A = this chain, B = another copy of it.
Amino acid sequence: MSLAYGPDLPCLGKRKEAVAVPELRKDPITGRWVIISTDRAKRPTDFVREAVKQKGGFCPFCPGNESKTPPEILGYRSSTIGGPEAPRDTPGWRVRVVPNKIPALGIEGNLDRAPEGMYDKMNGVRAHEVIIETPEHDKTLATLPIKRVEDVIWAFRDRMVDLKKDKRFKYILIFKNHGEPAGASLEHPHSQLIALPIIPKQAIEELEGAKQYYQYKERCIFCDVIRQELEDGGRIVAENNGFVTLAPFAPRFPFETWILPKVHDSSFDNAPTHVYENFARALQTLVAKADKVLDNPSYNFVIHTAPVQDGPNDHYHWHMEFMPKLTKVAGFEWGTGFYINPTPPEEAAKFLREASVETPTQQLVGV
């Protein structure tokens, strides 16, 4: 999915009064929900134009262009000694969170479920936000100072804590598309957050799988995976005080890598401070290793966490899944849910494990 920002969208930062509300639709056979987003590129010619869009040029996420995005939801700023903090929507921020959508769509409205003949639908997405990770256009999660990566993680956490207060939200997805082949439409480093009134099918399946294992063994399956992988070592990529980075046993994609907290926790958003510090370090190490081994690949990551309205549980274990975009294999796997991966995870882990990286803090080398 691309962002609703870019040189070919004329109304940036302006509020449109009347805009079609996106619709959630449920496939009656598989039960899969889909967002039909009607306020974006949609006519055949739009896709053709998208294909030839040029890089470079104006960047709405760079400092000085704050007026080209909707007003910020969150900004981390430092006050200068003896001086006040810089005001909202002006330069001086370290991380900035803005809505992706034109604000009129915002988080207003009731959740209207409705039938359409034999089908089911619901009105739109409630929140779609962009986390602008740094004011520096050319930095990445691998090259930012570690404290700035921590800021990004904190922004994820703060937005999740804030949005879960709204009981209509059942699930919050935090993810990043890095590089055009991975779906990024802007170069400036950013992640995204989508708060949903439903729980995505794949999250349900993961939760159910973990629950079944727990019912049988009375242990968390992710904790068991961590234990077995640390003992075996062959799929371990890196490790620090709080996190294990590993290639999963059955990865869908070459060099797919997961970062898991060592201490059991079902939710991303309620951890002690040192967990986010260690998570930032694990993430920076992984991105730096991938950059080195795979020559600065495009990638996606997704934070997998329990549904926001659920209390803590013993069977689910939050984690991040990191997927470099190396193969052009979309359609078949999309169409079937069946994956063919040309790289054994043991080999991928070995390459990543053995890559020594120097990150800005110098703390982050290897296992």
Tell me the dominant secondary structure on chain A's binding face.
mixed
**Cβ contacts under 8 Å, A109 to chain B:** none
Q: A173-B336, A177-B331 are in contact. List 9 more A-B contacts (CB 8 A).
A: A27-B248, A29-B210, A32-B339, A37-B340, A44-B295, A175-B335, A180-B328, A200-B337, A203-B337
Chain B: which residue is nearest A185 at the CB level? B328
Contact B28 A221 (CB under 8 A): yes
| B interface footprint on A256-272 (CB within 8 Å = 1, 0 otherwise) | 00000000000000000
The distance in angstroms between the C-alpha atoms of A238 and B314, with both chains bound, is 52
**Cβ contacts under 8 Å, A321 to chain B:** 335
| B interface footprint on A9-35 (CB within 8 Å = 1, 0 otherwise) | 000000000000001011111111111
Interface set, chain A 191-226, CB cutoff 8 A to B: 192, 196, 200-203, 205-206, 209-210, 213, 221-222, 224-225
Q: CB within 8 A of A300: which of B116, B248, B295, B334?
A: B334
Contact B116 A351 (CB under 8 A): no
What are 13 of the A-B contact pairs (CB < 8 Å)?
A26-B250, A27-B248, A28-B250, A31-B209, A35-B338, A35-B341, A48-B295, A116-B249, A252-B334, A300-B331, A300-B332, A302-B331, A323-B334
Q: CB within 8 A of A35: which of B200, B254, B340?
A: B340
Q: Does A228 contact B (CB under 8 A)?
A: yes
Q: Does A58 contact B (CB under 8 A)?
A: no
Contact B175 A336 (CB under 8 A): yes
Q: Which residues of A contact B (CB under 8 A)?
A: 1-2, 23, 25-38, 40-44, 47-48, 50, 116-119, 173, 175, 177, 180-183, 192, 196, 200-203, 205-206, 209-210, 213, 221-222, 224-225, 228, 232, 248-255, 293-295, 297, 299-302, 321, 323, 325-345, 347, 351
A313–chain B nearest beta-carbon distance, Å: 15
The distance in angstroms between the C-alpha atoms of A209 and B135, with both chains bound, is 47
Contact A325 B331 (CB under 8 A): yes
Contact A252 B34 (CB under 8 A): yes
The distance in angstroms between the C-alpha atoms of A295 and B30, with both chains bound, is 31
The distance in angstroms between the C-alpha atoms of A203 and B302, with both chains bound, is 25
Contact B36 A341 (CB under 8 A): yes
A292–chain B nearest beta-carbon distance, Å: 9
The distance in angstroms between the C-alpha atoms of A201 and B206, with both chains bound, is 13
Contact A341 B37 (CB under 8 A): yes
Contact A118 B224 (CB under 8 A): yes
